[in-house]
């Protein structure tokens, strides 16, 4: 084992701890060097993982890669990647990502296995996603319109189309047509050309079939044979379908429960769980956000942090670090460690605020509320801390950070009850302090 796997064990999971966009892809990319297999567990092309890596042509320059489906570990040519059964897969997007990597000199051949139990996102799912979002009027949930919700809806009502259906062309087409005709009766405005899509799938299937595998068996066997596995979560804890700010959530479980179910790996084999948490708080789309800064400071943080959705390009809403959210996330998931990202973005602010409590109608809340009405109307209690002016983007060791920055990190550890193991101080691979 490597030093990393000695510390975190042979089966490690990385999860988003706020409303997504915490910077999961970067840590996955860093740790992937030390693991044999990187597995994606949940979500679909609504996820976006941004990675900056040195250019092969000029190592002094970096290239930006955004993945929606392919696990971030694919950047490491000697690693195997898995798309687990909990993922819903839009095959054209997946193939486009594979093509981009190949065009940039990164071989993907024989390195990607897709669960034969994973469900397929059809293009009519995307159209339905848009139709339903528009029908909500002023109460839009902020969907990415990638068809994720409708695909999971098919899965839950037991009419979904799984990867193994691709093996039998005739049966696949019959099943697709049955589903499409059902939706045509529900959505009169559905204009999708299903025959054209089915024709395209004949070519898609040729490329996808060699990648299909019983990935649950593959991953468990790998663990038994002494290999190491890194699970890559998607979205964020507060977007979880059960524990998030419902209905302004994703359509899957973004918690450790989803990671376990979405890979088929037993919970008792998990050795460590790292929560990714931004040094401030952001969210994309609609829904409650108690510590949001609806002012110039919020805009300043957005611009300094480049806070625009990697999937949609939408500007992210920005606010102070919310310890109530963080503690709630830690409670549900039981993180062994945290990765605090984007600490450098706060440089130059004279003082910082941490949201430490919620009060509603005079009552101090014990945890993050389930009610939207309460979450949207809480009174937030803040704790003020001094900021720092020093540039921290080149700092490699925790002890070399400005004292105020170290105190900020320590306070987050105290409030969450969880050790911060990594601190992000910039966008590049090397901009990470291993505390």
> Helical H runs in 248-391?
256-261, 296-305, 323-333, 372-376
DSSP assignments along 37-49, one per residue:
EEEE-SB-TT--E
The question of whether 193 is a catalytic residue gets the answer no
Identify the active-site residue in 6, 29, 36, 49: 49
Element (H, E) at 26: helix 24-32
Report which of 382, 377, 408, 25 is spatially closest to residue 230, judged by C-alpha positions: 25
On whether the CB atoms of residues 311 and 48 are closer than 8 A, the answer is yes
Q: Dihedrals φ, ψ of 25, to 5°?
A: -60, -35
Identify the active-site residue in 21, 29, 116, 322: 21
Element (H, E) at 83: strand 80-83
Cis ω on the peptide bond leading into residue 219 (within 30° of 0)?
no
* CA atoms of 325 and 380, how far apart (whole Å): 12
Report which of 31, 40, 43, 419 is spatially closest to residue 228, judged by C-alpha positions: 31
- Beta bridge mates, 352: 385
The question of whether 21 is a catalytic residue gets the answer yes
> Helical H runs in 277-402?
296-305, 323-333, 372-376
Catalytically annotated residues: 21, 49
């Amino acid at each position: 084992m490597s030093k990393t796997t000695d510390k975190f064990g042979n089966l490690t999971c990385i999860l988003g701890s706020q409303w997504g966009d915490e910077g999961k892809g970067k840590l996955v990319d860093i740790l992937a060097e030390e693991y044999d297999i990187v597995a994606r567990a949940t979500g679909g092309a609504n996820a976006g993982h941004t990675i900056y890596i040195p250019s092969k042509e000029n190592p002094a320059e970096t290239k930006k890669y955004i993945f929606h489906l392919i696990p971030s570990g694919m950047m490491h040519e000697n690693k195997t990647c898995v798309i687990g059964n909990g993922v819903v897969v839009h095959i054209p997007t997946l193939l486009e990502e594979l093509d981009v990597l190949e065009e940039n000199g990164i071989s993907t051949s024989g390195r990607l296995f897709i669960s034969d139990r994973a469900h397929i996102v059809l293009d009519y799912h995307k159209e339905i996603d848009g139709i339903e979002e528009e029908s909500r009027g002023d109460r839009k949930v902020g969907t990415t319109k990638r068809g994720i919700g409708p695909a999971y809806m098919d899965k839950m009502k037991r009419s979904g189309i799984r990867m193994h259906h691709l093996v039998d062309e005739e049966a696949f087409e019959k099943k697709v047509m049955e589903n499409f005709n059902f939706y045509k009766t529900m959505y009169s405005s559905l204009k999708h050309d299903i025959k054209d899509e089915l024709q395209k799938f004949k070519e898609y299937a040729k490329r996808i079939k060699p990648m299909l595998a019983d990935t649950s068996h593959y991953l468990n066997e790998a663990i038994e044979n002494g290999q190491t596995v890194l699970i890559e979560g998607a979205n964020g804890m507060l977007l979880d379908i059960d524990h998030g700010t419902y209905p302004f959530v994703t359509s899957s479980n973004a918690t450790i429960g989803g990671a376990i179910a979405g890979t088929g790996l037993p919970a008792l084999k998990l050795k460590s769980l790292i929560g990714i948490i931004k040094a401030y708080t952001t969210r994309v789309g609609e829904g409650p956000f108690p510590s949001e800064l609806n002012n110039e400071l919020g805009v300043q943080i957005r611009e300094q942090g480049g806070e625009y959705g990697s999937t949609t390009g939408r500007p992210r809403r920005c606010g102070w670090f919310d310890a109530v959210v963080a503690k709630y996330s830690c409670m549900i998931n039981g993180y062994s460690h945290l990765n605090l990202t984007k600490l450098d973005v706060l440089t130059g602010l004279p003082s910082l605020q941490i949201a430490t409590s919620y009060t509603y109608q005079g009552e101090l809340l014990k945890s993050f509320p389930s009610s939207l009405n309460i979450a949207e109307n809480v009174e937030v209690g803040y704790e003020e801390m001094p900021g720092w002016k020093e540039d921290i983007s080149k700092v490699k060791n925790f002890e070399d950070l400005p004292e105020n920055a170290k105190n900020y990190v320590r306070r987050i550890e105290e409030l969450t009850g969880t050790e911060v193991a990594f601190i992000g101080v910039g966008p590049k691979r090397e901009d990470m302090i291993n505390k």
